[in-house]
Structure 1
Amino acid sequence: MLKGFLTVGGWTMLSRILGLVRDQLLAAFMGAGPMQDAYQVAFRLPNMFRRLFGEGAFNAAFVPLFSSALATEGDGAARTLARQAFGVLLTWLIFLCILGEIFMPQVLRVIAPGFTETGSRYDMAVTLSRITFPYLVLICAAALVSGVLNGLHRFSAAAAAYLAFNVVGIAAVLFATPFLPSVAHAAAWGVTVSGVAQLGLLMIAARRAGFDLTPLPPRITPQLRLLGRRMAPGLIGSGVTQINLTIDTIIGTLLPAGSVSLMYFADRLNQLPLGVLGAAAGTTLLPVLTRHLAAGEEDTAHAVQNSAIDYVLLLTLPATAGLLALATPIMQFLFAHGSFSLSDAALSAQSLRAYALGLPAFVMAKVLAPAFFARGDTSTPVKIGFFTLMINLMFNLLLMRPLAHVGPPLASSLAAIVNVAALTLLLLKRDALRFDRKLTKRVALMAGAAIAMAAILCAAQAMLTIPASHRTLWLGVTLGIEVPLGAAFYLGVLHALRVLDLASALDGVRRRLARRANRQK
């Protein structure tokens, strides 16, 4: 299990690095303007359905069903189940794709109403969306094949195939642009071609694993009905999240040209700590909580929950403080190249700060939701999610005009804070969450240390003067100094306040490295 986790984690980290390179190229070639806005909306549409139907809900329902069939009925039954599911999924997706291609102008009027005010941006968004929409079929099919490989414990093949999205995307921007009307067209074709590459690589890996996944004619069997029932809660939960993202996009299109782009690049950076900390904590916490509650170990379950909160806030609070203090130099260092100007990066940094304000809440939601799921309650987080959806819409409408590109990110952060507050109050009311005095004290001290770190970083930024010549190099050097010093200050304060024992922590790391070295001998 640990080997599989490290394998997937390694490929995921490499994919994130390549994704950053791809985003830098998009920023450099298209900047923050109508073309970038049109491309981001064109990509958001198939990506929304991918997240809704392909990865989360489908895999969460399919992989346990497939693994169970594999263990109890053998390879033949599991292969038949996968091929039947493949046939039904492809039929549904192709039908959806055809409808999308036909009615794309009407769809764009709904999800990008602001684009109709400028005809060229709307026309380009329709064209690019028709290019990218087949990615929906390809990536959702790839998600099924990936689920089969994960069920067979072929984690490396499944994780590595998803690198193709960024590799093909980078190649399309660099090499296909001269042969197409614009770089946006090249990037859009890169999305769809990457779907072909990912599905092809995964099908080859499945065949090498001895699993022919040629889809069977669509037929609803009892197992597929069970699959549909298991998918329903996940689809509802994912649907709330996707609707929230769609609301942000809709509002963004009503703002000045470039707003969608500014928010996109800010969100990409905000997703780094959120993806690593939130997803890791939520994934590992659920089975542990479930096991202790099933054994009647209520006190242990509360201790585990508090430890998880302690862990994520220990890392999330300084990440939040660092993004708030260093948003502008970070965005300028990463994205202020080519058509993406220094002023664009500064504006995007404003969106990043608005997203960062909600980062602790976004991560805490991942930690609190398992407390409901482990107790068999899957409906309450979904109900709270729908309530949060309305809050997000209300804040968006209130903030969009006065704050422009900062409005939707701030609305998302405020809605996330309301979401976490509601989850916390309900858990406390049900005695499913108990904050002990030690945790409360530690969180207060961590927050204080993070605020002090942010103040020092802000003061350092105010005293620095970055020369215009070789600006990127100087930004890299200053960030390379400030980030480690900020982290050292934060850890030093926590050590002085006895929140952390750095000597014991370093000793534990040395022991782990020594054990790993001994195992490799």
Structure 2
Amino acid sequence: MKPIKLVSGILTVGFWTMLSRILGVVREMMILALIGPGPVMDAFIAAFRLPNMFRRLFAEGAFNAAFVPIFSKKYEGEEDPLVFARDAMNGLGFVVLTLTALALIFMPALVWATAGGFVGDERFDLTIGYGRIAFPYIFFIALAALFSGALNATGHFAAAAAAPVFLNILVITAMTIAWATGGQAITWLVWTVPLAGVAQLALVWIAAERAGVRVRPGRPRWTPDMKRLFRVAVPAALAGGVMQINLLVGQQVASHFEKAVSWLYAADRLYQLPLGVVG
């Protein structure tokens, strides 16, 4: 990579990341103002954390740690990176689609495992309902992470960096509509989550097509490259699981106290603002 391109890439990613973090604060302020700490917000946070947990654990963490180096090596060498990208997309899509189906079926067990304090009050049923709407977000965002990794590996940083902004913009728009129309803010919010996943995937998929990374859905194949991907991804997933377990322990404890999940989440988002930009 040329120095000027490296500097340009850093500035591009920094700009979009900063914008995403600022809009994220606005998003959280609107959610707190229109819904407010309480059973409904507790339930939404616990439900939304489920796809986010798997996203950070598998898609953006373990999968990208394995996919990007292999794809980059093929892209810079003489091998065709598109064959590998296609197999990786089909394999990831199959795994995440299966995970989503199982999660929708066993959502009550997932809620019990991640927010046991909700059992016996209204938050438990609310979280199950919200979780079944929000969880498919993982399918779209996992595929978006693949295309983002491919774009970054080929030196096209803008779309991948801009994609997270879509969630914030759509949530802010939904909250504004709910406020203006007097509608149920939580209904607008929870349905915006999977819609944002579709928007993020569409953005990076189109950008990848324009960058020459043209892959199409197909039947998953177990190839030597996929075996390499699996061997690297599993240890990365185990390493990333430590942080996710820490977050789940915090939520489990907070779930036994009124409004604690909401306030813990709000504090964590504020704490993550400078870390997300600098890190």
Q: TM-score range by the shorter chain?
A: over 0.9
State the secondary structure of the residue aligned to 2:119: helix
Q: What is the CA deviation profile of residues 291-337 of structure 1, one whole-angstrom value per residue up to 9, with x for unaligned ones? A: xxxxxxxxxxxxxxxxxxxxxxxxxxxxxxxxxxxxxxxxxxxxxxx
What TM-score does the superposition give when structure 1 sets the normalisation length? 0.51
* 2:102 maps to which of 83, 99, 104: 99
1:35 corresponding residue in structure 2 = 40
What TM-score does the superposition give when structure 2 sets the normalisation length? 0.94
1:263 corresponding residue in structure 2 = 264
Alignment of 1:416-431 (within 5 A): none
Alignment of 1:61-80 (within 5 A): 61-74=66-79, 77-80=80-83
2:178–2:184 contact (8 Å) kept in structure 1: no
1:180–1:186 contact (8 Å) kept in structure 2: no
1:66–1:151 contact (8 Å) kept in structure 2: yes
2:91 corresponding residue in structure 1 = 88
* 2:165 maps to which of 163, 166, 173: 163
What is the CA-CA distance between 1:185 and the residue it aligns to? 2.3
What is the CA-CA distance between 1:231 and the residue it aligns to? 1.4
User: Which structure has more RCO (C-alpha within 8 Å, separation ≥ 6)?
Assistant: 2
1:245 corresponding residue in structure 2 = 247
2:17–2:277 contact (8 Å) kept in structure 1: no
1:161–1:202 contact (8 Å) kept in structure 2: yes
2:21–2:276 contact (8 Å) kept in structure 1: no
Alignment of 1:282-431 (within 5 A): none
Q: What CA distance in whole angstroms lies between the structure 2 residues aligned with 1:105 and 1:137?
A: 20
Q: What CA distance in whole angstroms lies between the structure 2 residues aligned with 1:80 and 1:180?
A: 50
Q: What CA distance in whole angstroms lies between the structure 1 residues aligned with 2:146 and 2:256?
A: 36
* 2:26 maps to which of 18, 21, 24: 21
Q: Percent identity at matched positions?
A: 46
Q: What CA distance in whole angstroms lies between the structure 2 residues aligned with 1:41 and 1:226?
A: 34
Q: What CA distance in whole angstroms lies between the structure 2 residues aligned with 1:3 and 1:246?
A: 37
What is the CA-CA distance between 1:179 and the residue it aligns to? 8.4
Q: What CA distance in whole angstroms lies between the structure 2 residues aligned with 1:213 and 1:167?
A: 28
What is the CA-CA distance between 1:96 and the residue it aligns to? 0.5
Query: Aligned AA for 2:254?
Result: G
Aligned length: 274
What is the CA-CA distance between 1:116 and the residue it aligns to? 1.4
Q: What is the CA deviation profile of residues 333-359 of structure 1, one whole-angstrom value per residue up to 9, with x for unaligned ones? A: xxxxxxxxxxxxxxxxxxxxxxxxxxx
| Unmatched 5+ stretches in structure 2 | 1-5
Greater gyration radius: 1
* 1:111 maps to which of 103, 111, 114: 114
1:57–1:238 contact (8 Å) kept in structure 2: yes
What is the CA-CA distance between 1:265 and the residue it aligns to? 0.7
1:172–1:189 contact (8 Å) kept in structure 2: no
